[in-house]
Amino acid sequence: MSNYQITNPFSGELIEEYSLAGRAEVEAALGKLVAGRQIQQVTPAFERSEILLRLASLLRAHREHLARLITEETGKTISDSRIEIERAYNTALASAMEARGVHGEALDSDAFPPQRERIGVVMWKPLGTVLCITPFNFPINIAIHKIGPAFAAGNTILFKPGPQNKRSAECLLQLCYEAGIHETVLQMVIADIEATSWAVAHPQVHAINFTGGTAAANAIAARAGYKKLLFELGGNDPLIVMHDADLDAAVAAAINQRFATAGQRCTAAKRLYVHAAVYDNFARKLVAATEALKVGDPMEEDTFVGPLIHAGAADQVEQRVNAAVAAGARVLCGHKRAGNILWPTVLENVPDDAALVVEETFGPVIPLRRFDNIEEVVDLVNNSAFGLQAGIFTQHLGLAKMLFNRLEVGLLALNDGPGFRAEHFPFGGVKESGIGREGVRYAIREMSYQKTLVI
């Protein structure tokens, strides 16, 4: 086992030091979950629904405590953390509603010859035990997006949160138990890499629901064998601003969906393509709005941009900005640093092959790119390893429909940014952005299998 230190990303204060779990702890947790499957088998859907309703109420009752834990652990602003808890409430509520609505279908065998006079009753059944692995940036809501549907489907759950999120995850675990989820149905381990890898390959783990980076996903897939995989991975999400766009609304979307959470979101607006006819006006408005943002202590109510999760993350973003500038990019605002805080930065003339644009850059940086022809944008967007979400501002519905058909993404938001998410909508991408779909109803199906009774 190895030690892990939780430090406040803003102050650098040591919050807690603890030992990561090893193989023995993971094995013990899995043993409990195997026994817990019997509890899930005899727990009817309406009881699972009622438990999830209680969990939703408990999340709302403890929202301020949870929000403060998130801010201390991650550096997310307190206002952003409160929004996360409200979203987690909605996710638990949606899980409760969908738990009652898992339904199958009846098939007539006589649809094709020969006549057999049989009926096939098709139902959805739980896979068994689901390993849920969550990242640092939305430690409660993403956890509920995994635990809620997995529990609603009738599975047992091995929950592995990010090591930085130990205290918020422990609080969530206790709320789950208080709501009525039995401890043999939900176990939490914060394991080291070796023990996590061992769990991935364990025969008593039947599905892996992972949110994180591509490299970790590749390692999980190589170890998982014939398990169900549900991966929500990275994004390099474009925001397109056409000549007929509402520029003020587009600027607001760019600010909120790139600089919130200090840009550490998979659906953040990471590439901005602006039509030449409105480029100068849009850039002026964007820079003015960016410079008006308060940067600093995430616990202060009006702070909009706090620190990145740790120094290594800030180093990587800063290095990519420096490399883009060295290659000819021009800084319109920002490009300052204090500790783990990077000031929100807007650049233009960034080369299309710069790492800042090509890779998923997890930080508060907007690269602006002027365009004349939408075909150019389609090629640029699709020439990416990622394909999560996209947004376009335009009054031309036909153009939006064309882009919906041609852009290689999982969602296109009209007159909104790529960061749009509703907890009950399908969520996921193509290419290296993931496998399968989250969103409560869809995640329940992902963590179930179809079983047929012929009568």
- Which residues 6+ apart lie within 8 Å of 30 measured at CB? 129, 158, 187, 199, 202, 204, 205
CA atoms within 13 A on the CB side of 340: 25
Contact 384, 360 (CB under 8 A): no
Contact 388, 408 (CB under 8 A): no
Which residue, 151, 184, 145, 163, is CA-closest to 33? 184
From residue 110, alpha-carbon distances to 104, 113, 114, 121, 400 in Å are 19, 6, 7, 14, 43
Residue with tokens 């991975």: 233
Which residue, 77, 50, 216, is CA-closest to 137? 77
Question: Position 380: which residue type?
Answer: L
Which residue, 64, 75, 77, is CA-closest to 304? 77
Is residue 172 classed as helix, strand or coil in its secondary structure? helix
CA gap 3, 213 in Å, rounded: 23
Is residue 232 classed as helix, strand or coil in its secondary structure? strand
Is residue 23 classed as helix, strand or coil in its secondary structure? helix
CB atoms closer than 10 angstroms to residue 18: 13
CA gap 69, 89 in Å, rounded: 16
- Which residues 6+ apart lie within 8 Å of 125 measured at CB? 154, 448, 449, 450, 451
What are the catalytic residues?
A: 232
Query: For residue 222, with 0-12 CB atoms within 10 Å meaning exposed, 13-18 middle and 19 or more buried, which class applies?
Result: exposed
